[in-house]
Amino acid sequence: MPRSSSKRVTLEEVARVAGVSRATASRVVNGVTTVDETIRAAVRRAIEDTGYVPNPAARALVTRRADAVALVLPEESRLLGDPFFGQVVRGVMTVLGPSGVHLVLMTMDANTRDQVLGDLRRGRLDGVVLIHTDRADPLPRLLIEERHPVVVSSRPVVPLPVTYVDVDQPAGGALAARHLASLRRNRIVTIAGPQHTTAGQDRLIGFRDALGDPDLPWVEGDFTRESGAVGMAQLLRAHPGLDAVFAASDLMAQGALAVLRESGRSVPADVAVVGFDDSSAALACDPPLTTVRQPVEDMAAEMARLLLRQVDDPDTPVTASVFPPTLVHRGSA
């Protein structure tokens, strides 16, 4: 039973109680296997008796490990409170928790870049997971240059030797395409995501290729509801006879749905609609949205795993981990 000692117990005291050197006590604490069994037992008991807990600062000073990594989310307003964010945090935590590594939460604002770099340089952070970094953000490149462990949440637009985790975006587009084709729709259009993002590009490519229609009508949105509405209106004007639309995000699908309703078309009878993300918006839609789902929590866990691996071995080669999307069948298509 640990003594409720008011004084802080150090390894020194454990060594004294166990009748060994501080070095040996340290070895037992750190699970070095070469220590004699009897001695090990004595040290164990001493630890129990004294209620010893190692001082992480002292340890970090020599090991140069903080046992803490940062999770950097876009900007305050955007993701916090979004269920997507909750899934990311949960996924990361499932792998960090057991390892005792601290999850330090940050949002990307003016000083976050400096703080992250500073914390990494001074060894206050071992690595960082970057969620949805803007393509113009210099942070990933800076981190790579300084050789800090980092994992990003999607394939970078500009080629960069960085480890990332992503959903198979083209496959997601293809999933939507095949579903609409199976419904015998043949006047299909799409509201694509921003073409300066890989998600935007790849979902469009995958969708178009699976359809085998190089002339597929499409407009570009920016993933927001508003852009979905605008895009839908445009498409309706140019192709009044359309009978199916794939929106590269649930929010855009939601915007499209509203415009379709205003135009007097019913979903899915007149027009089938498929979204992307399986966000909370998908369920809020009327009818609920058929959509392409990415396994966010699993992906986040994988990001944490890949990061920890880099922390353990800085020479771990850069890798990409790509997850298969699935189609969630609901009322809209």
In the complex, least distance from residue 41 CB atom to DNA, rounded to whole angstroms? 11
Choices 54-62, 111-119, 164-172, 277-285 (CB under 7 A): range interacting with DNA: 54-62
Nearer to its own copies, 3 or 187 (CB): 3
What tokens appear for 257 in the block? 């749905």
Q: Is 55 in the site for its own copies (CB under 8 A)?
A: yes
Q: Is 44 in the site for DNA (CB under 7 A)?
A: no
Choices 73-81, 165-173, 207-215, 228-236 (CB under 8 A): range interacting with its own copies: 73-81
What tokens appear for 148 in the block? 């800090």
Quote the CA–CA distance of 187 and 240 in Å, as a whole number: 10
Choices 72-80, 191-199, 223-231, 233-241 (CB under 8 A): range interacting with its own copies: 72-80
Quote the CA–CA distance of 52 and 22 in Å, as a whole number: 13
Q: Is 11 in the site for DNA (CB under 7 A)?
A: yes
Site for DNA in 58-87 (CB under 7 A): 58-59, 61-63
Nearer to DNA, 28 or 150 (CB): 28
Binding partner of 309, given DNA, its own copies, none, CB within 5-8 angstroms per partner class: none
Residues 6+ apart with CB under 8 A from 233: 259
Q: Is 35 in the site for its own copies (CB under 8 A)?
A: no
Nearer to DNA, 27 or 179 (CB): 27
Binding partner of 20, given DNA, its own copies, none, CB within 5-8 angstroms per partner class: DNA
Site for its own copies in 240-299 (CB under 8 A): 280, 284
Quote the CA–CA distance of 123 and 126 in Å, as a whole number: 6
Applying CB under 8 A, which of residues 41, 61, 238, 320 lies at the interface with its own copies? Answer: 61
Nearest-CA neighbor of 308 among 150, 106, 133?
150
Site for DNA in 164-183 (CB under 7 A): none
Pairing of strands 218-220, 244-247: unpaired
Q: Is 103 in the site for its own copies (CB under 8 A)?
A: yes
Alpha-helical runs (H) found in the chain: 11-18, 22-29, 37-50, 56-63, 76-79, 83-99, 112-121, 139-145, 169-182, 198-211, 225-238, 250-262, 280-284, 296-312
The angle that helices 225-238 and 250-262 make with each other, rounded to 10 degrees, is 50
Q: Is 12 in the site for DNA (CB under 7 A)?
A: yes
Quote the CA–CA distance of 28 and 18 in Å, as a whole number: 11
Site for its own copies in 148-167 (CB under 8 A): none
Applying CB under 8 A, which of residues 106, 157, 160, 233 lies at the interface with its own copies? Answer: 106
Question: What is the DSSP code (8-state) at residue 15?
Answer: H
Radius of gyration of the chain (CA): 26
Task: Count the alpha carbons within 13 Å of 275 in the hemisphere toward its beta carbon.
Answer: 35
Choices 16-24, 90-98, 156-164, 241-249 (CB under 7 A): range interacting with DNA: 16-24
Pairing of strands 320-323, 290-293: unpaired
Question: What is the DSSP code (8-state) at residue 110?
Answer: T
Q: Enumerate binding residues for its own copies (CB under 8 A).
A: 53-58, 60-61, 66, 68, 71, 76, 79-87, 89-90, 93, 97, 100, 102-107, 109, 111, 115, 118, 121-124, 280, 284
Q: Enumerate binding residues for DNA (CB under 7 A).
A: 8-12, 20-24, 26-27, 29-30, 34-36, 38-39, 52-55, 58-59, 61-63
